[in-house]
Amino acid sequence: MIPILIGAGVLVGGYLVVNHWDEITNWLKDFMPKVQETLKSSGITEYAAKLFSSVTNGALTLVHRLYYKENGKWIEKTTTREIEESQVPEWAKAGLSTKETDVTERYQKELELTL
């Protein structure tokens, strides 16, 4: 039941290409509180989230990974967003390569949010 609630609610995972950096920041600022509220209202108390990023083919890929424990098993839900590198601020591109890099702390600080 929990996966159905989460899937139907705010964790419609998958892959989306966006056109502007503001769409990424708005998504994160809107998405994170909804995820946390959905988990809490579903009785899930053990969970964690990480944000990863990489740059390939002129685009920045941002991957949000949510881990939560349900019925004694850990579940992973992944949501991915991609944006043209030219639209991304320098702080978000700094230190990235084609390999996924954990950018959780950087985004929490810069965007003043909790993942």
Residue with tokens 């995820």: 35
Per-residue model confidence as pLDDT tens digits over 68-99: 988 889 999 999 999 999 999 999 999 999 99
Evaluate if residue 25 carries a pLDDT over 90: no
Question: pTM to 2 decimals?
Answer: 0.77
Per-residue model confidence as pLDDT tens digits over 48-60: 999 999 999 899 9
* Tokens (6 digits) for 84: 């043209």
Residue among 106, 11, 9, 4 at smallest CA distance from 64: 11
> Beta strand 14-17 with 73-84: parallel, antiparallel or unpaired?
parallel
71: exposed, middle or buried (Cβ count in 10 Å: 0-12, 13-18, 19+): exposed
**What average pLDDT does range 38-55 have in this prediction?**
90
